[in-house]
Structure 1
Amino acid sequence: MASSAIYHARSISLPSRPHPVAEQLDEQLSRLRSSQSTSTSSSVSHGLNSLTDLYSSVDEFLQLPHNQQTLSQTQITKWVDQVLDGSLRLLDLCSASRDAMQQSRERLQDVQSALRRRCSRELSITNEAIKYLNTRKSVKKAIKKCLKNLKPTNEQKNETHATVNMLKDVQELTADTLKSCLSYIGGSQKSGWSVVATLINKNSNKETTTSSEFDGVDAILNSLVCQKKSGISLSQMDNLTSQTLKLESEIQDLDEALECLFRHLVKTRATLLNIISN
């Protein structure tokens, strides 16, 4: 990643004394890098919301006349093209995250509907649980493939093009945050039976710790499916109802944050295209 020293160096891209907006953007990048941690609900949500603030600074950064003049120079077309290619990858990652959540949410709503009709037959709940788990299996597979196909960013950076380097640093941080989001949505890659075995080995009166709310619902539904013959207790139903409501709320929050980020990514890309076309 580019260090702060890069933005203070004399170059053809930034003046010797950086603009306050550039300093602000640099500070935000450093702060967000240091705050990156494991993929938990709070960290993923915080990361996505922080990116929204970051891209507001990016918009100001791109409005600076000196930066617009730099980005429109023909001798750095190659570097600007790399930034534009990166913006497309980020849009794809953002869309993949939203698609994965949407698929999970649709099946989750079917489970909730079955829970509201639980006075009828347990069979309905079990069937919806199986459908949900099958969808989650497909989602996990798609996410795993998406993350595996992501090529590491080994693009060379040039200290004489600090404006481009700043944008690349923003994209790198954005990609890391979106990858954390996808990993969180995918949850554990263990098989359903492995998850159930973990639950069975724990005291039923103790809360099971999971790294993802998605994992929590997956584990409960796996347990209910495996315990079908012994019947589903009222406490299990209440627990499942509570967990699905938590997950639904979390999906809503994450989706809103991703939608906001998506709009910012589109706006930033449009601004870049407008700069180089003028």
Structure 2
Amino acid sequence: MASSTIYHARSISLPSRPHPVAEQLDEQLSRLRSSQSTSTSSSVSHSLNGLTDLYTSVDEFLQLPLNQQTLSHNQNTIDQVLDASLRLLDICSASRDALQQSRESLQDVQSALRRRCSGELSITSEAIKYLNTRRSVKKAIKKCLKNIKPTTEVKDEAHATVCLLKDVQATTTDSLKSLVSYIVGSKKNGWSVVAKLINKNNNQVETSSVFDDVDAALNSLISQKKSGISSSQIENLTTQILKLETEIQDIDEALESLFRHLVKTRATLLNIISY
């Protein structure tokens, strides 16, 4: 996904001989930004894993005495960073809730598939329930996205530590927006309002999502209720659901890991300013 945040035009201004951890953070940020042009299964998973590695480095960065001293003397700016950290945690929580709701509804569809008898498929109510769940997910994500505020740029380059933390948060926000875009799916499936919030002022390529595939397959089955459903359609739907379940599991595990790192980073910042 193309970033909506204005980043620094050059690398972050660090001391003439920056600590290796700071250099590592700068490199990780560059890699994550370069991977935000698409929202596919592989790119989303790669981005989430990259964020986990990024926050591992952030934790090391925050343990450096000089950085702790700098942060302790910038209370107002750190308050902004802490506020932003809450919004990131909210996005993670909303995404995990969306995944959990989708997983539970998918299980109902699978149960209906297993109950089919004599070639007759009676999954209309379960399909409608799943698609309604998707609409609920859209509303929850829409509410969450409205609370996202642009990350303000630190103009005083003497505070490079704060500047770096804000760049980390901006990159995290954009990566999570890419995740949300993947979960929500494309505009073609009725998610135009959410897509507009996600892609505002961006030129994002069209999302490729297994969520889209399952939505389309279930909509197709509902529309063909009277004309009958072929065995190939049943097989295709079963395959797509299994694939989506695997992706939900992988994404949820990555989100859980990222959530723990975000909580740890926030706790470290709170400890630093309380000294």
TM-score range, shorter chain: 0.7 to 0.9
Distance 1:55-1:191 versus aligned 2 partners, 3 A rule: closer
Asked if residue 22 in structure 1 is aligned to residue 11 in structure 2, the reply is no
Q: Would you say the 8 A contact 1:187–1:215 is kept in 2?
A: yes
Asked if residue 237 in structure 1 is aligned to residue 234 in structure 2, the reply is yes
1:161 alignment counterpart: 159
Q: Which runs of 4+ in 1 moved over 4 A?
A: 120-123
Runs of 5+ in structure 2 lacking a partner? 1-6, 191-205
2:178 alignment counterpart: 180
Asked if residue 246 in structure 1 is aligned to residue 252 in structure 2, the reply is no
What secondary structure is seen at the aligned counterpart in 1 of 2:187?
coil
- Give how far 1:148 is off: 4.2
Q: Would you say the 8 A contact 2:52–2:257 is kept in 1?
A: yes
CA distance in 2, matches of 1:260, 1:120: 45
Q: Which has the higher helix share?
A: 1
Asked if residue 125 in structure 1 is aligned to residue 123 in structure 2, the reply is yes
If you compute each CA radius of gyration, which structure gives the higher value, 1 or 2?
1
Asked if residue 38 in structure 1 is aligned to residue 38 in structure 2, the reply is yes
State which drifts further: 18-27 or 252-261. 18-27
Q: Would you say the 8 A contact 2:59–2:265 is kept in 1?
A: yes
1:201-216, aligned counterparts within 5 Å? 211-216=208-213
1:220 alignment counterpart: 217
Deviations 1:44-68 (A, max 9, x none): 1100001111111101100111101
Asked if residue 265 in structure 1 is aligned to residue 271 in structure 2, the reply is no
CA distance in 1, matches of 2:46, 2:76: 34
1:86 alignment counterpart: 84
CA distance in 2, matches of 1:269, 1:52: 14
- State the aligned residue count: 254
Letter in 1 for 2:187: Q
Distance 1:85-1:68 versus aligned 2 partners, 3 A rule: same
Runs of 5+ in structure 1 lacking a partner? 9-14, 193-208
Letter in 1 for 2:213: G
- Give how far 1:242 is off: 0.4
- Give how far 1:3 is off: 5.1
Letter in 2 for 1:259: E
2:199 alignment counterpart: none
Deviations 1:122-177 (A, max 9, x none): 46311111111111122123323433443333454421110000000000000001
Q: Would you say the 8 A contact 2:82–2:266 is kept in 1?
A: yes
Letter in 1 for 2:208: S
- Give how far 1:188 is off: 2.2
Letter in 2 for 1:130: I
2:194 alignment counterpart: none
CA distance in 2, matches of 1:79, 1:168: 10
What secondary structure is seen at the aligned counterpart in 2 of 1:190?
helix
CA distance in 1, matches of 2:153, 2:135: 34
TM-score normalised by length of structure 2:
0.87
CA distance in 2, matches of 1:130, 1:175: 32
Percent of residue pairs identical: 78
Deviations 1:65-102 (A, max 9, x none): 110111112xx111111111111110001111111111
What secondary structure is seen at the aligned counterpart in 1 of 2:13?
helix
TM-score normalised by length of structure 1:
0.86
Question: What is the root-mean-square deviation in Å for CA atoms of aligned residues?
Answer: 1.9
- Give how far 1:33 is off: 1.1
Distance 1:170-1:87 versus aligned 2 partners, 3 A rule: same
Asked if residue 190 in structure 1 is aligned to residue 196 in structure 2, the reply is no
What secondary structure is seen at the aligned counterpart in 2 of 1:230?
coil
